[in-house]
Structure 1
Amino acid sequence: MQVYNRKTGFCKSGGCVLALGSFDALHIGHQALIREAVSQARRRGVRAGVHLFDGRPEAVISEKEMYKTMYDSGDKAQIIEQLGADFAYFETFDEAFMRLSSDAFAKMLKDTFDVLCVVVGFHYTFGYKAAGTAETLKEYGKKYGFDVVVIEPVMQDGALVSSTLVRSCLEGGDIARANRLLGRAYALRGAVVHDRGVGTGMGIPTANLSLPDSLLLPKRGVYATYSVIDGKVYAGVTNVGIRPTFSLSKVVVETHLLGFAGELSGDVLSVCFMAWLRPERKFNTKEELSRQIFSDMDKARQIFSEMQKKSG
């Protein structure tokens, strides 16, 4: 899959079909939209692409840096490729782009991408101050010569699937529901870095992930997780928090991989979340903490075993 942005420019080649949106969570609703774009492209014999943003538009609109991203561009590109798209275009959402009128945005789609068809969600908005809607996009499509397909709402557990709902689940520690909304295991990916070696000193070594401050983290606490290393899947126990037993203040993501004895420092590791186990809390002694961690490990093994049985 090709990845483009404003710096690389876009190479037109006989038209394309574009899925449009912010695609913050790339949840099952977004996946349905992208798959429809791929289907429309295959019928026309052209490339299927996804037009999305590098970062979150809200950070520019509100002029604040409080908005956290769920995935970086690299992670999004991997997920989009798995959905069958031929390219992804990461748009820079700056002041100039924000002030594009809805008409100018629609014209840009035709001029820049030679788009034959666009696929959007039912609540899609575009243009300055979100003046354009899915319905007005259909009118612009007639004006500039492209079709518009609108995807109906996708429901899960009786609720509308949305990035906001996924975020709410993660921030509340409801990993099971977040995973259903995502259609995959929620994951954090980062380089493994050296830390103080607290876990190693207790006989429970951990892999600590280096993650950007701009990344949204799930609720602080302890989770049952798994990771794939050299083709083998390892269950794990992951702590997201400040390690209060040791009077630390920086939020870390550290994982103990059950049955793994290798060295991961410097490697990139993906930690996939299966279930919430418990909140993070302060223990009076290292021994008390160690006993709790071994209890967490037993629970993680059981959850991992059940997951493997379900997957066949």
Structure 2
Amino acid sequence: MKIIKDLNAISSTIPLSLSIGMFDGVHKGHQSIIKKLNLMAEQKNLESAVFTFWPHPRTVFNPNDDLKLLNTIDEKTYLLEKNGVQNLFLKEFDEDFRNLTGEEFVKQILVEKLNVKHLIIGYDHTFGKNKSGDFQLLQKMAPEFGFEVEQVEAVDFHDKHISSTQIRNALSVGNVKEAAEMLGYVYSVSGEVVHGKKIGRTIGYPTANIAVNPIKLLPKKGAYIVDVYVKNNHLKGMLSIGTNPTVNGNSLSTEVYILDFNEEIYGEEISVNFREFLHDEIKFESMEKLIERLDEDKKITEIYPF
């Protein structure tokens, strides 16, 4: 997949089948768009492309909005490529860009820069200043500027349209299985293993402390069954998101105890997939009670089917 960040450097004559949007999560709704995108590209002898932006527009319009995303930019890029997208246009969402009207975006970006011949958008997509661009505007402008446009219907899950917001809501209550069903893959986080307080090793449960990208959404505080990828190993693990209240912790951490593993992995990149929510974060009355619960969680994790 070709990744283009500087639109000013584009002088491509390659005609495109393109879609626009944040594509946060690259979930089943997005996947239905990409499937159509790739099909049209093949049928019409075009190249498939996605036009997306960074950072998220919400954080530009409201800098105090502590929005967490389902994907880092690297994760989103990987998922788009995995789904067969040939070109990714990654535009900084700056002042100039946010002030383009819908019509200006179509003329200056889609037509003059990107040579779009077939445009596919989601069922509720709007673009341009004050959301002045929508499907009706595209239908009106398409004949004049020589491109076709179509709108893809929503994909539903439990009678609701799948959306990035719905998935964030599921994760915020620990429902990682429902999130996975809407995503079409198991939700994960990754990061470098960093030094923590090393309390776990004193009670027989040494944990790897993961430095997760601060833009990445963490599921609800609590304990989870996860599978772990580290140093070319695929292993079972018990992951905790929380502040370690039993030992009066006050900073949020993401720590994983990896079953049947005792290698030194500080500085290594580690990735965990959320399989099952075990329980909420608990403040135990003693370390003995904490160990008892860890023993119970371990038994459940050991027999969990992966």
Per the normalisation by structure 2, the TM-score is: 0.94
1:89 aligns with 2:97: no
Contact 1:223/1:273 (8 A) holds in 2: yes
Contact 1:106/1:144 (8 A) holds in 2: no
1:80 aligns with 2:76: no
Aligned mates of 2:158, 2:65 — CA distance in 1: 32
State the partner residue of 1:252: 253
State the shift of 1:87 in Å: 2.0
C-alpha distance after superposition, 1:179-211 (max 9, x if no partner):
100010000011111111111222212111112
Deviates more, 1:224-233 or 1:272-281: 224-233
1:19 aligns with 2:39: no
Distance of aligned partners of 1:145 and 1:298 in 2 relative to their CA distance in 1, 3 Å threshold: same
State the partner residue of 1:216: 217
Aligned mates of 2:190, 2:170 — CA distance in 1: 19
Deviates more, 1:11-20 or 1:155-164: 11-20
State the shift of 1:79 in Å: 0.7
Aligned mates of 1:223, 1:201 — CA distance in 2: 21
Aligned mates of 2:10, 2:117 — CA distance in 1: 15
Aligned mates of 1:206, 1:54 — CA distance in 2: 33
State the partner residue of 1:149: 150
Aligned mates of 1:8, 1:299 — CA distance in 2: 55
Aligned mates of 2:7, 2:211 — CA distance in 1: 27
SS at match of 1:132: coil
Contact 1:6/1:92 (8 A) holds in 2: no
Contact 2:72/2:215 (8 A) holds in 1: no
C-alpha distance after superposition, 1:10-67 (max 9, x if no partner):
4625211112111122110011111211111122223211111212111112242422
State the shift of 1:258 in Å: 1.2
Q: Structure 1: give runs of 5+ residues left out of the alignment.
A: none
State the partner residue of 2:98: 98
State the shift of 1:215 in Å: 2.2
Aligned mates of 1:9, 1:100 — CA distance in 2: 19
Aligned mates of 1:61, 1:300 — CA distance in 2: 43
State the partner residue of 2:4: 4
State the partner residue of 1:173: 174
Aligned mates of 2:263, 2:141 — CA distance in 1: 57
Contact 1:137/1:148 (8 A) holds in 2: yes
1:132-211 to structure 2, matched below 5 A, reads: 132-211=133-212
Distance of aligned partners of 1:213 and 1:231 in 2 relative to their CA distance in 1, 3 Å threshold: closer
Contact 1:208/1:252 (8 A) holds in 2: yes
**How many pairs were matched up?**
305
Deviates more, 1:139-148 or 1:182-191: 139-148
